[in-house]
Structure 1
Amino acid sequence: MKVFNRLIIFLAIILFISCSDKEFDEYYGRPENLEQPIYQTLEEKSNFSSLLRVIDKAGYKDILGKSGYWTMFAPNDNAFSEFLEAESISDIESIDSILAGKIVKYSLVYNAFRTERLPDYQSSTGWIEDQAFKRRTAYYDSFRNEMVDGQQIVVVGSNRNNTNGSNYYINGDNNNKYISYFSEDFMLEQGYTSYDYNFFYPNEELTDLTVMNAQAINVDIIAENGIVHEIDRVLLPPQNIDNYLSENASYSLFYEIMENNLINYIFNEDATKSYYNFTGNSQDVFVKVYDQALPFSPNNENFFKEMDNDGQSNGYTLFAPENSVFQEFVNEVLLKNYSSLEQMPKYIFEDLYNAHMWPSSVWPSKYQASINGLDEEPRFDFNTDIIDVKLLSNGFFYGTNKVQASNYFYSVYTSPYLDPDYTLMTRLLNDTDGYRNLISNINRRWTLFMMSDDVMNNLGYSYDIDRSEWVYESPENGNIVTGNIAKQRALRILYNHIVYTPNNELEDLSGSGIIRTGDNELPGEYIKYENNRVYAAGNEVLENYVNITGSETQNNGIVYYTDNLLEFSEEAPGIDLKNLAEIEDSPFQYFFNYLENSQFYNPDGSTLSIVTLGTRYTFLIPNNSAIEQAVQDGALPATETGEPNFNPSTFEDQELVSNFIRYHIITDRIISDDGKVTGDYETLLQDNLGESTYLTFETSPGNLSITDNSGRDANFIPSFSNNLADRSLIHLIDNYLLYTE
């Protein structure tokens, strides 16, 4: 019974199928009005016979005649006629399969794009209008044989930027090349003009859609498996930046130094397997890997891959100096203090090539808005300094007749940076807490006092490479500190050697004067100079002044070579005040007499409990006559005979002295008569409500005046002022200051 039922069902199915063939075909069959695939569409036209023959030779007939989803920039027959003549090829049949493959695969863009979509960036979050000028093609270079260290090896390019030292090659990514085009919408939106296009293609016309140096003359031809845009030139895949640089003799020195110091060839098992599967050859394959400190890998076709298609909207840029100017730079700058390039540390080469590499497309009309791997703008004149221009598969190439005038190689920073005798100073400058970017800014003028390794070592400073930490051993007592404490100590000394001099204030050290180190945003301590000697507070204490032994001029200032360090003082300011009070007929005497008997003075170490060592202060010391006037006015305690009472016994008188002293000490600011500081600044005195009190300062070169909250004025006395102390200055003033509630 079951067999009979199955037979009935089977016959019914056969009957149903036979009756519904027509309906099935009508429903699921290929619609009659559907366009033909790309290959057949080209056949229907009368002007693509050469392209069709090339497609056949490339083995792409089946692909373009059936499935897929492509955009094809299709060169017409006239384009091939011009191509054959230009390449001295007799006829279309003489094009071999390799050349045919290059032509066809580079003309094919993944996915179908009508002209209105070509200028739009296909981001992972959606279309971004008028941001794209490139699309990824079906063409890639694959494996190459290269001579490396005298041995021929199989090499494949990085397909990622080597940003972390490991993610430089992704198996399965073929490093497909991009094709560039210039649409009217993109150019208008970005503010680019024919000037930008003609910078790359001087003799060509920019039209509504220009593909490399070809014009699109018949666009949006619809096919079943994509879109065809007819163009009037045959386009070959351009080299990438790596290939163009390495194969161009004009830049051989620039590339050679780069290859010797910043390129490695690393064996890759996945690439080796792919090579074997592709060729049957079991030879090892090496990935050509650029140093991870560089902003991009010139052989990577993929841009940054922060989004899959980010190469549609951006690319890399390299400025490469030609051999003669680069050789001159090597001789005069790099090798000024080194005997050979082999002796130079790697970071110098990293900085040098970062200075010539831009991780973005540098368009000719807007080049000043771009920054390189060192955050610098291009320092080239595009009208006179650019001698070679190429639009390559992964970016722009500019050959130049000058070297990028980078901050690191043309500033006062250059002097220690490119001198092996100043590695400790350079290490400090390069530290994350250092000042490299400050003094290498060629738009600001600096004076730099040099700190040689020998001098630093002799004064107890060294760097432990094995432990990666700074070490300081006191020459006086042999005490050793390491790590951050030692580093901060060295950095403080370093900042004494950096002086912002916008008007070349230290161009002549034969006279005498005082100047603040650092700059306006990060003020340092004060140093003095006299008869070609300089000194800081610590040098005065130790009586070991710094002699100038030589100098050199850089683009943003002057560098002085010295025989010693500008050391900070480790002496308590109370000692400095005591010393000033002990000079013969000292005008500081009366103030110090009150100070040494105050509640916060420690006579054992001459320290002040209200003052912290290493903190910025300005001490305003009324001279003896001003103290006498304060006593007469009742601002300080007096004896029964009206003389100054330096050692009052009552609490009220002690508080009077304490408040008087506090009001004459400015906290967290070092103020001199250089005109750098004007305004209200906080004293150590607090009012009855615990609020800060302030003094008002007016300064100009050679003058310093102070006003208290009641309007009383005082002026500093130049001949007894600007005394150096620990992160402080001590001034003598001609009047006392009094805070009134």
Structure 2
Amino acid sequence: MKKIHYYLFVLPFLAFLTSCSQDVFDEYYARPEGLEAPIYQRLEARGNFSNLTALIGRAGYKDILSKAGYWTMLAPNDAAFVKFFQEKGISNVADIDSVTAAKIVRFALVYNAFREEQLSDYQSSKGWVLDNAFRRRTAFYDGYQTKLINGVPTVTVGANRNGAWFAGDNNNKYVTYFTKEYFTAKGLSSYDFNYFYPGATYTGFNVLDSKVTEANIVAENGFIHEVDKVNLPLENIDQYLERNSNYSLFRKIIEDNLITYIFSQTATTNYKNFTGKSDNVYVRFYDPSLVMSPNNENYLKVEDNDGQADAYTMIVPENAVLQNFINTVLLKNYPSLDKLPRYVFQDLVNAHMVQGAVWPSMKGNFINGLKEDLRFDFNSNITDKKVLSNGFFYGSNIVQKSNLFYSVYTSAYLDPKYSFATRLYSDGSGYKEMISNINKKFTIFLPSDAILRSLGYEYDSTHLYWVYVSPANGATITGANARNRLLRLFYNCIVYTPNGELNNIATTSGIIRTGDSDLPGEYIKWSNNKIYAAGNVIPGATAVNVTGKEVQQNGTAYYVDNLPQYSEELQGLVIKRLATSNTQFNNFYQYLLNSSIYNATTGKIEGVDLGTSYTFIVPNTAAIAKAVTAGVLPANPATTIQGERDLIADFIRYHIISNRTASSDGLITGLYETLRKNTRGDKTYVEIISTPGTLSFRDNSGSNPAANFISASSNNLADRSLIHLVDNYLKFTE
């Protein structure tokens, strides 16, 4: 009986506790008093969003916006819809179909809840970055579309990455807004807003060209910002380009050369699951060499939200100006566009793309996809401007004046006869970047593919390397060694000429250094349309003949029948040859010939190597005699006395400057190292004094007069070297 009584007591007690617990539970989790209603109910209760709430219901979003969540609603009020009805020629909200309803609602919905002051902040992966955002991702995306591809209806989807497609997102469109916080932080003003929307008023908080009439309306599941205009989803750059016939020629170039459609099994499966249809789906890809894909609604996606802080820009020339550019520039040496190499189209389009949002007042802060400044006047050249879902679009009445199309590089780049030169310039050598800079003046000497082949050069397109077969002995060099040989030869063909030094090459003569000021090359000579490098003046060699020219914005390209060859002859042999042809070199040569540092058979001077820069200072007959009189040199060049032989060796070393080639052009001045070492083994130096037309050398003695070059007998070419005859000797003092 006790047991029965016990259960009779416990069960009611447990029921009592359970009842109490449920009350506590309900109280704890009950809707807090004072909590605002969800977005849908808030819109409904305010009374001036009846049209929007009707569309929310028709679009299937009533349930979503009536529950918990995390949204920002850019909500057009009823007055906005009245204007919308008038613009569309309809009577009321009932005339809006379900598809349009969904577009309006989903484009007004921004993921996550943001107060007005938060919208200007960028949600980076490392935290909030203040005042660095002007866009947000919306709930709207285009999805699958059917296009005619080669005349066949095809289901396509736009790439949602640059050069790729990622199945994890739907390429949602972004909405752009303009806040005073962002504009202040970026140095922007109402000018930047009104440049796109000349008829609108900048208020410090605009959603596109609409005004926010009330911000920060709090709801249980987010925030509402009331706007005075109905905004339909914006086109992206790809869509706007397709729709606008003013740019059809630019678009055709892209469509014909830089677009591919690739079957995607993942996209096909998703499409079938979504629609129940079995069509194959193809992803529309832009060439991956482009700095942006105009159909990519995301930004770079280096971070998930980087589209909040930046966007793309495309500046597109109108048909007429582009056609003129095609006729006068692109097709100067090609019969039709379809014959142009693919890289020309890649470069042309990249020249008009920017991987950033180019604000009109800040265009000087941006570079295009070729890393060039933007050469458009935004007051006179821009004829069309649009804020689009993935960036800014500008129509232009000029073509970007790209380096690639107006420089001496262009003469090879846009002529199929010079494809070898173009390949070498562009393969990472840095030559392309140098000679295509339209802000610096260059002269180039340009051999055709046929000339290079006649000299033994070929490009193996199977193995992707250069080949050199010596015309003299048939010896073959391939790969890096053949390329390096060509690179040195082509550097002899590039001359920095800031003052047009080679403009009159047909009627003048002189000597000039190749390369540019940052990386000096070797010296070459010219005379009456002939070019000579060190390898062109050795016995049996031939000069380079100029056969024609093309003047570009940054200089002249001279067409040639040979290359300015570098020399593989040792410098001692050049001095020997000079001594044979000019007696003023002979006394110095006799000391060299009999010295302990010279190999008379090979011409090798100890410490002097091929491929290194030198300046040889050769005292003339009278200067050698002065040196003998002063005791700096022994009288007998063939002396066998060791001390005198050491004196000769040191004298010669002190007259050879290492790692510098100096001429009478004023480019090299100052103290430079010689081959001589002092008694402690330290380096010794000679001062080079040069102005255009003069060159002299001063030793460290402090009393010996400078050795001045004798112009008519100086500037003799050798391997990376110049040999000068001077009127005095150099004396080293410990």
> Shared topology, TM-score over 0.5?
yes
Given candidates 695, 709, 720, the residue that maps to 1:716 is: 709
Residue type of the alignment partner of 2:510: G
CA offsets 1:649-697 (integer angstroms, 9 cap, x no match): 0111111011000111111111100111111111111112222111111
SS at 1:587's partner residue? helix
1:386 counterpart = 2:382: yes
CA offsets 1:104-137 (integer angstroms, 9 cap, x no match): 0000000100011110001111111000000110
Given candidates 677, 681, 694, the residue that maps to 1:703 is: 694
Residue type of the alignment partner of 1:195: Y
Partner in structure 2 of residue 693 of structure 1: 684
SS at 2:116's partner residue? coil
Contact persistence 1:57–1:97 (CA under 8 A): yes
Percent of residue pairs identical: 53
Contact persistence 1:143–1:155 (CA under 8 A): yes
| CA spacing shift, 1:234–1:527, aligned 2, 3 Å | same
Question: For 2:60 and 2:69, how far apart are their aligned partners in 1?
Answer: 15
| CA spacing shift, 1:199–1:9, aligned 2, 3 Å | farther
Partner in structure 2 of residue 560 of structure 1: 558
TM superposition shift of 1:11: 4.5
1:365 counterpart = 2:361: yes
Partner in structure 2 of residue 738 of structure 1: 731
Moved more, 532-541 or 655-664: 532-541
Question: For 1:421 and 1:458, how far apart are their aligned partners in 2?
Answer: 14
Question: For 1:6 and 1:387, how far apart are their aligned partners in 2?
Answer: 90
Given candidates 260, 271, 278, the residue that maps to 1:264 is: 260
Given candidates 570, 575, 578, the residue that maps to 1:577 is: 575
- 1:93-492 equivalent positions in 2, closer than 5 A: 93-162=94-163, 168-492=164-488
4+ runs deviating over 6 angstroms:
1-8
Aligned length: 729
Question: For 2:676 and 2:275, how far apart are their aligned partners in 1?
Answer: 85
Partner in structure 2 of residue 641 of structure 1: none
Question: For 2:6 and 2:236, how far apart are their aligned partners in 1?
Answer: 71
TM-score (normalised: structure 1): 0.97
TM superposition shift of 1:433: 2.3
Residue type of the alignment partner of 1:528: K
SS at 1:15's partner residue? helix
| CA spacing shift, 1:619–1:188, aligned 2, 3 Å | same
1:672 counterpart = 2:663: yes
Partner in structure 1 of residue 650 of structure 2: 659
Partner in structure 1 of residue 19 of structure 2: 18
Question: For 1:117 and 1:9, how far apart are their aligned partners in 2?
Answer: 57
Contact persistence 1:428–1:434 (CA under 8 A): no
| CA spacing shift, 1:739–1:176, aligned 2, 3 Å | same
| CA spacing shift, 1:134–1:633, aligned 2, 3 Å | same
Aligned-residue CA RMSD (Å): 1.5
Question: For 2:132 and 2:153, how far apart are their aligned partners in 1?
Answer: 42
TM superposition shift of 1:588: 0.2
SS at 2:118's partner residue? coil
Partner in structure 2 of residue 650 of structure 1: 641
Contact persistence 1:536–1:566 (CA under 8 A): yes
TM superposition shift of 1:532: 1.5
Question: For 2:439 and 2:571, how far apart are their aligned partners in 1?
Answer: 37
Contact persistence 1:461–1:470 (CA under 8 A): yes
Question: For 2:16 and 2:159, how far apart are their aligned partners in 1?
Answer: 61
| CA spacing shift, 1:23–1:583, aligned 2, 3 Å | closer
Partner in structure 1 of residue 545 of structure 2: 547
| CA spacing shift, 1:97–1:5, aligned 2, 3 Å | farther
TM superposition shift of 1:551: 1.1
CA offsets 1:306-347 (integer angstroms, 9 cap, x no match): 111000000000011111111111111111111222222222
CA offsets 1:517-563 (integer angstroms, 9 cap, x no match): 11111111111111121111111124311111111111111111111
Question: For 1:8 and 1:379, how far apart are their aligned partners in 2?
Answer: 92
Moved more, 492-501 or 680-689: 680-689
| CA spacing shift, 1:4–1:267, aligned 2, 3 Å | farther
Residue type of the alignment partner of 2:35: L
TM superposition shift of 1:609: 2.7
SS at 2:114's partner residue? coil
Residue type of the alignment partner of 1:633: A
TM superposition shift of 1:413: 0.5
Question: For 2:629 and 2:8, how far apart are their aligned partners in 1?
Answer: 133
SS at 1:98's partner residue? helix
Given candidates 484, 495, 510, the residue that maps to 1:513 is: 510
Question: For 2:457 and 2:644, how far apart are their aligned partners in 1?
Answer: 48
Residue type of the alignment partner of 1:26: E
Partner in structure 1 of residue 48 of structure 2: 47
1:623 counterpart = 2:611: no
Partner in structure 2 of residue 603 of structure 1: 600
Gap runs ≥5 in structure 1: 163-167, 639-644
Partner in structure 2 of residue 165 of structure 1: none
Question: For 2:244 and 2:169, how far apart are their aligned partners in 1?
Answer: 27
Contact persistence 1:434–1:491 (CA under 8 A): no
Question: For 1:566 and 1:2, how far apart are their aligned partners in 2?
Answer: 117
Question: For 1:359 and 1:131, how far apart are their aligned partners in 2?
Answer: 16
CA offsets 1:454-496 (integer angstroms, 9 cap, x no match): 1111111111111111111111111111111111110000001
Question: For 1:634 and 1:20, how far apart are their aligned partners in 2?
Answer: 117
Question: For 2:627 and 2:359, how far apart are their aligned partners in 1?
Answer: 71
Residue type of the alignment partner of 2:98: S
Residue type of the alignment partner of 1:615: T
Residue type of the alignment partner of 1:116: E
1:522 counterpart = 2:519: yes
Question: For 1:447 and 1:322, how far apart are their aligned partners in 2?
Answer: 33
Residue type of the alignment partner of 1:721: S
CA offsets 1:147-193 (integer angstroms, 9 cap, x no match): 1122110110111112xxxxx11113100111100111110010000
TM-score (normalised: structure 2): 0.97
TM superposition shift of 1:599: 1.3
Residue type of the alignment partner of 1:655: D
Question: For 2:373 and 2:6, how far apart are their aligned partners in 1?
Answer: 86
Contact persistence 1:546–1:565 (CA under 8 A): yes
